[in-house]
Amino acid sequence: MRGYQGTNLANPDSILACLKHYVAYGAAEAGRDYNTVDISHRSLRQVYLPPFKAGIDQGAATVMSAFDDLQGVPASANHYTLTQILRGEWGFRGFVVSDWNSVGELIPQGVALDQATAARKALTAGVDMDMESNSYGPTLQKQVQSGQIPESVVDEAVRRILRVKFAMGLFDHPYTDESKGNITSLDPEHVATARTVAEESFVLLKNAAVSGAPVLPLASSAKTIALIGPLADSATDMLGSWSTKGDPKDVVTLRQALSDRLAQSQGKLIYAKGTDILTNSEAGFAEAVSAAQEADVVVAALGEDAALMTGEAASRAHLNLPGNQEKLLEAVASTGKPVVLVVFSGRPLILDWEASHIPAILEAWFPGVQAGPALVRTLFGDANPSGRLTTSFPRAVGQEPLYYNHMNTGRPADGVDLSHPPTDAKEKYLSRYIDEQNSPLFPFGFGLSYTTFQYSSMTLSAQSLKADALNNGSAALTVSAEVKNTGTRAGAEVVQLYIRQQGTSVTRPVRELKGFQKVVLAPGESKRVEFKLGRDEFAFWNIDMKDVVEPAKVTIWVGPNSIEGSEAAFTIQ
């Protein structure tokens, strides 16, 4: 909100922030765009509404209604979410704009038989601006004149839009300086920032030892590097989906940056594309294998097609490396040379085979114009990876939806070896798969570094607090832990705090992230990290659908991800 809108909407460089897509669009069935959503009211309140509330609290001026239907009511005709909650409970004074044609799509969704009805239902629910469907212009006047729509409803929608336009200063200064949009070259400072942002987004998923030392960072002895894969030299893909004015000519690819780096050190780069992203042809395999055989180390740049396979309308039913890329990787790995897999993707992929056979894996997403320099600096250790996963990586598609903050079952498979099918009744009649483990391949919050960190035991400011005191804001718990860099390199650790509450009126997740801090530590340096937990951290929507703190047994973890960490007990009385 601050980045887009600044401190004053009337400033010439301010633009309206838009919260989207309101609401629960992230829960679309089968992970398919534009699909229906059917979640409980508690999940709506507990999980999906809070991020929007946070945006409203920060002053977001606009909200976009979503494509989905929610509990049988389309989001773009949902009076409960658009008016009762957004305006009534939260006091939102900006305007709501429909998603592209989402008003017109009320007809195929089945709640309107014609354009006029779609317009009436959307407007009276709280959609002030119709984007693209052109349902409002041709139909609203007649419906007001016939009494189907109160004139006051139209007045209020107009008032909301005008209020924002006045705040933007559009009536005093209706035109902008168009010359500021004519960017012919990137600002060097912006380029440096783009590289830093890319470096900090990379997540090191695996870094096993080969010949006694971790594969990454690449050693100076790696004089000849084979760079293989369809994403090694694809400028367009590096920009990702919805790149707006991003220009491939500004992109420095991994091939270009790696070539420049090796030229400085008198090294040698052997490049072989190997395959395209979507093909069954193995015509380039022999060249790729030959390149690997000549090299000291292989860097494989594999993943998704950014335009086709990520962003909107790019749902996938198969989450493995697309095409025959895994087969190419198998062929290259069979040479016995150390392989670093750089994964470019817009979603978690299934990397089960890769994690078992490839010693080093770096998730790069789509890093932007400085993709190459950022990756080369990271591969050679000039930059130390500090990114952490904001989603769980599955072992198999059948695990989805897979998320760390799930509820516990009455038959948990705790302590049971799930790496093989059940051998007796004690192993079988549990909440488990018979052909896969329950756990993710890489958990939420996970990410490795080129150094190591050690956590001390936690200290709590109290062993118990009263629920009433937490509810009225007169009490809070302070949690602290010491983190030490036990390695030989400076590095950044993302210290994460999770809680679990038991004995409550409704089930609570096995873990919930309630705080995180990024600390940069020199080798041997320690720092005490402190978190404060109060009403916001302990409250939840209880059995009476009230947002309160309840008496509970609380387990607290401080650690590097959602499955590790030191543990302490706390009681809410």
pLDDT band at 22 (very low <50, low <70, confident <90, very high): very high
For 425-463, give one letter per residue: b (16+ CB within 10 A) or e.
eebeebebeeeebbbbbbbbbbbbbbbebebeebebeee
Average pLDDT of the segment spanning 420-445: 97
Say yes or no: 460 and 519 in one domain: yes
- Calpha distance 357→279 (Å, rounded): 23
Q: Confidence band (pLDDT; 50, 70, 90) for 287?
A: very high
573, two tokens:
């009385």
- pLDDT-derived band at 145, boundaries 50, 70, 90: very high
Burial grade of 156 (CB within 10 A; 0-12, 13-18, 19 or more)? middle
Q: What is the per-residue pLDDT for 540?
A: 98
Q: 445 lies in a domain?
A: no
Instruction: Give pLDDT, residue 244.
Output: 85
In a domain, 316, yes or no: yes
386 inside domain: no
179 pLDDT more than 90: no
Asked if the structure places residue 175 within a domain, the reply is no
Q: Which residues pair with 214 in a beta bridge?
A: 209
Looking at the structure, do residues 137 and 33 belong to the same domain, yes or no? yes
CA distance 301 to 299: 6
Catalytically active residues are 99
Average pLDDT of span 69-90: 98
H or E segment at 70?
A: strand 69-70
Q: Which domain holds residue 418?
A: 405-439
Is 241 domain-assigned? yes
Asked if residue 549 and residue 522 are part of one domain, the reply reads yes
Within a domain: residue 181?
no
Has residue 249 been placed in a domain?
A: yes
Write down the pLDDT at residue 357. 98
- Please, what is the average pLDDT of the chain? 97
Single residue among 387, 415, 439 that ends a domain in this structure: 439
pLDDT at 177: 84
At 180, is the pLDDT very low, low, confident or very high (cuts 50, 70, 90)?
confident
Q: How many domains would you assign to the chain?
A: 4
Assess whether 127 and 237 both reside in one domain.
no
Sequence-ordered list of residues with C-beta below 8 angstroms from that of 18, at least 6 positions apart, any chain:
60, 61, 62, 63, 64, 97
> What b/e string do you get for 502-515 counting C-beta neighbours within 10 Å, with b at 16 or more?
eebeeebbbbbbbb
Note whether 219 and 292 are same-domain residues.
yes
- Secondary structure (DSSP) of 112-181: -SSHHHHHHHHHHHT--B--SS--HHHHHHHHHHTTSS-HHHHHHHHHHHHHHHHHTTTTT-----GGGG
Rounded to the nearest 5 degrees, what angle is found at the Cα of 173, between the Cα atoms of 167 and 175?
120
Phi, psi of 82 (to 5 degrees): -80, -30
Residues 543 and 518 both lie in one domain = yes
HEC string of 265-332 equals CCCEEEEECCCCCCCCCCCCHHHHHHHHHHCCEEEEEEECCHHHHCCCCCCCCCCCCCCCHHHHHHHH
pLDDT at residue 51 is higher than 80: yes
pLDDT confidence band for 36 (50 / 70 / 90)? very high
**pLDDT for res 181:** 75
Nearest-CA neighbor of 201 among 312, 351, 366? Answer: 366
- What is the C-alpha R_g of the chain? 27
Whether 429 and 492 map to the same domain: the answer is no
Rounded average pLDDT over 480-505: 98
Q: Lowest-confidence range among 179-183, 221-225, 269-273, 391-395? A: 179-183
Q: What are the structure tokens assigned to 317, written together?
A: 């039913």
Count the neighbouring beta carbons within 10 Å of the beta carbon of residue 149: 20
Report how far residue 183's alpha carbon sits from residue 247's, in angstroms, rounded to the nearest whole number: 11
CATH of the domain at 313: 3.40.50.1700
Residues 330 and 474 placed together within one structural domain of the fold = no
For the segment 46-67, the average pLDDT, to the nearest whole number, is 97
**The two three-digit tokens of residue 538, written as one number:** 């302990």
Shared domain check, 127 and 12: yes
Indicate the pLDDT class of residue 81, thresholds 50, 70 and 90: very high
Contacts of 222 (CB under 8 A, 6+ apart): 267, 296, 297
Do 244 and 370 fall into the same domain? yes
**pLDDT band at residue 418 under the 50/70/90 scheme:** very high
Q: Is the pLDDT of residue 237 over 80?
A: yes
Mean pLDDT along residues 195-217: 97
Q: Are residue 500 and residue 553 in the same domain, yes or no?
A: yes
Residues 28 and 162 occupy one common structural domain? yes
Q: What is the pLDDT of residue 405?
A: 97
